[in-house]
Amino acid sequence: MKRKRDGPEGNMEIVWQTPANPPQRQDYVFRDGIRYVRPYYFEFISHAKNRWAGKTIVDLFADEFKGRPRDYYVSAVKAGRIQVDGQIVPVSYVVQPSQKISHFLHRHEPPVMARDVKILHTEPDVVTVCKPASVPVHPCGQYRKNTVVGILQAEHDLAPIFPIHRLDRLVSGLLILARSASKADSFRQQIESGEVKKQYVARVTGVFPEDEQVANAKVNYNAREGKSTVEVENGSNGKSPSKGKDACTKFTRISTNGTQSIVLCEPVTGRTHQIRVHLQFLGHPIANDMLYLSECITRRSVEGLSADRAAAKSTLPIKPSHSEVHVPHSTDEPVEDFNIDPMCTNCPNLAPKGYDGNEEGLWLHCIRYSGPGWTYECPYPEWASLS
């Protein structure tokens, strides 16, 4: 439920949202092919980790949440927008383990491309959709309403829904959602037991070999940098200490124009960025994948951006040949009722700092999932045709 609190600016009344408040159709603003979320007040809740203990409340936020300047956190504590166990505390307050930390802020979500979340197939207990590139599957990080789950709830009244697999934010294609937790568990058990076959299509650099290629190389994902690497055995005994996980992907060329190729990708395992890094390993990275095309990438810590966004800022963008965007609404919505918050570090812009909405989806698209007695498919994207 929404709760009302007296704001720090006198008697200004603020309605604070929590994860219990569902997204609404009117929460979205469409401009120039980009979907924005109208900024809103939100209560973030966390519990103090052991490593936070002994830090002052301001030092904690300045060290752990670098997206805002230290001065903001000082002001937020003084104004009561940062609280401990539901109480206003001084800036010198020292945090103890497991305490409830609340951060009441004016939330600006990153923009995404304004493509429809197209419903492909409906059953009593299953819905399949074509996920647009740039839209996360479910709430994570700075995204809550600008997600597939949020958009389906706001625009199609679909809730609750349970994604049974995930696609990276920049990847498009088939997404299967269960209508119940028990159905989701049934799907996940089939996936974990290896009964489910997954197929993707990618557009890669160069002339991909005609014969089937199998990348059977361990993948090591660096969460800090948001990037995976392939581990190759070396050393006198042919082995070295490994941090990577076993990974296998099969690739088959569908077509080529002599410069780029369309490739069918069949991951046997499911590691983070597995297809992307295995294609790089084979010498044919995805043709617009800045993260795995570039030798030198700005570290993701720059401006607190994701690894893909940091990579895009470090290199000249490669624009897809088909960039037509379908906007769900015929006209842009006015934003005159967007209230500017005097303490917000992102106002008066719709998007948070560092997110200009100028990005393209990867040329990687999920086309098919199949398991015991079932198959779900998604149409090929426009870029999969080289003609």
- 168 as an active site residue: the answer is yes
* Residue 187 parent element (H or E): helix 181-192
Maximum mean pLDDT: which of 187-191, 292-296, 315-319: 187-191
Antiparallel, parallel or unpaired: β 87-88 and 82-84: antiparallel
Q: What is the pTM of this model?
A: 0.85
| Separation between Cα atoms, residue 200 and residue 220, nearest integer Å | 21
Cβ atoms of residues 167 and 157 within 8 Å: no
Angle of CA points 83, 85, 91, to nearest 5° = 35
Q: What is the mean pLDDT of residues 294-303?
A: 56
Nearest alpha-carbon partner for 142 in 279, 259, 40: 40
- The pLDDT assigned to 373 comes to 94
Taking only Cα atoms into account, the Rg of the chain, rounded to an integer number of angstroms, comes to: 23
Residue 357 identity (one-letter amino acid): G
- Enumerate the domain spans of the chain: 194-330+355-368
pLDDT tens digits, residue range 190-221? 999 999 999 999 999 999 999 999 999 999 99
Helix (H, G, I), strand (E, B) or coil at 217: coil
| 73 neighbors 89 (Cβ within 8 angstroms) | no
Identify the weakest region by mean pLDDT among 168-182, 240-254, 307-321: 307-321
Whole-number pLDDT of residue 96: 96
The model's pLDDT over 320-354, given as tens digits with 9 standing for 90+, comes to 433 333 444 433 444 555 778 999 999 999 999 88
> Which residue, among 214, 135, 221, has the nearest Cα to 171 in the 3D structure?
135
The pLDDT value recorded for residue 357 is 73
Q: Report the percent of the chain where pLDDT is more than 70.
A: 84
Given the residues 116, 168, 211, 246, the one annotated as active site = 168
Question: Over the stretch 246-294, which tens digit does the pLDDT of each residue have?
Answer: 999 999 999 999 999 999 999 999 999 999 999 999 999 999 999 999 7
d(CA 150, CA 170): 17
pLDDT of residue 328: 44
Q: CA nearest 320: which of 30, 113, 110? A: 113
- The whole-angstrom separation of Cα 118 and Cα 129 is 5
32-90, pLDDT tens digit by residue? 999 999 999 999 999 999 999 999 999 999 999 988 999 999 999 999 999 999 999 99
Look at residue 243 in the predicted model and tell me its pLDDT.
81
Which of 382, 361, 365, 325 shows the shortest CA–CA distance to 174? 365
C-alpha triplet 152, 157, 158: angle, nearest 5°: 60
Name residues whose C-beta falls within 8 Å of residue 78's C-beta, 6 or more positions apart in sequence.
Answer: 91
* Structure-model confidence comparison of residues 310 and 3, the more confident one: 310
Average of per-residue pLDDT across 105-114: 94
Supply 316's token pair. 């000249």
Whether the predicted pLDDT of 135 surpasses 50: yes
The tokens describing 144, both together, are: 């809550």
Q: Is residue 307 very low, low, confident or very high in pLDDT (cuts 50, 70, 90)?
A: confident
SS3 106: strand
Q: What is the dihedral of CA 70, 72, 75, 79, to 10 degrees?
A: -130
User: Quick check: 199 and 245 in contact, CB under 8 A?
Assistant: no
Cα(251)–Cα(25) distance, integer angstroms: 41
